[in-house]
Structure 1
């Protein structure tokens, strides 16, 4: 556990601003990218939904294709978001450790890095 270089207190808080911001931005970007990719290449979900909806006739085919495309977009967003959060958190952690003052002394309010 680090100690404050100013007052030598051990009552220290770890801020992790970079990690939080990186995870948020990465998650949003990954989810948007995953959904867009799934929709652009969503023929598979639409075809699967249409095949299942074929039992309901023409209306079932159209509804099934729509549901299949939406399901594909949701799955793509979840997968992309997961990857984005992980990648963003890794980058953010590196920024916390090497660029930002990631620690705050709770006694004297001094912010510092562990170097």
Structure 2
């Protein structure tokens, strides 16, 4: 059994990054610019947009809209690279725990009491 923090690192954050990279590219940014903005390598951007990374779970429409809005703000200068971590955490908090666990075929009751609050929308902090 993977602890929830590992699920976030291996599935949730990559899914958010993948969607963000795709949205930025859809807004006309080049892979090199996306990699610099997201502080990741250009090959990582390539893997995100080709679903070699970040495709382990599907994000719901609400979360995808938050990512799309953030991408638009980044593209038009209303948001900056400095806001990337905070906004990623804010988006992560809106990911539904039950949805992620279901997609990964994990029963929430398998999580220990100490671990049930550190994944997705039930997180008190990121």
Q: Name the TM tier (shorter chain).
A: 0.3 to 0.5
Larger radius of gyration: 1
Report 1 or 2 for greater relative contact order, CA contacts < 8 Å, sequence distance ≥ 6. Answer: 1
Structure (1/2) with the larger helix percentage: 1
Structure (1/2) with the larger strand percentage: 1
TM-score when normalising by structure 1: 0.33
TM-score when normalising by structure 2: 0.31
